[in-house]
Amino acid sequence: MKVTVCIGSSCHLKGSRQVVEQLKELIASKQLQDQVDLSGTFCMGNCEHGVSASLDGENHSLTPDNTRDFFERQILAKLAVND
CB of 38 to ligand FES, least distance (A): 16
Q: Which of 44, 53, 62, 75 binds ligand FES (CB under 6 A)?
A: 44
3-state SS class at 5: strand
Q: Does 19 bind ligand FES (CB under 6 A)?
A: no
Q: Does 43 bind ligand FES (CB under 6 A)?
A: yes
* Positions of E strands within the chain: 2-6, 37-41, 52-55, 58-61
> Do strands 37-41 and 2-6 pair parallel, antiparallel, or not at all (unpaired)?
parallel
Q: Which of 3, 4, 8, 26 binds ligand FES (CB under 6 A)?
A: 8
What type of residue is 20? V
Task: Return the number of the residue (9 or 31) whose C-beta is nearest ligand FES.
Answer: 9
CB neighbour list of residue 34: distance below 8 Å, 6 or more residues apart: none
Query: Where along the sequence are the contacts to ligand FES (CB under 6 A)?
Result: 6, 8-11, 43-47, 50, 52
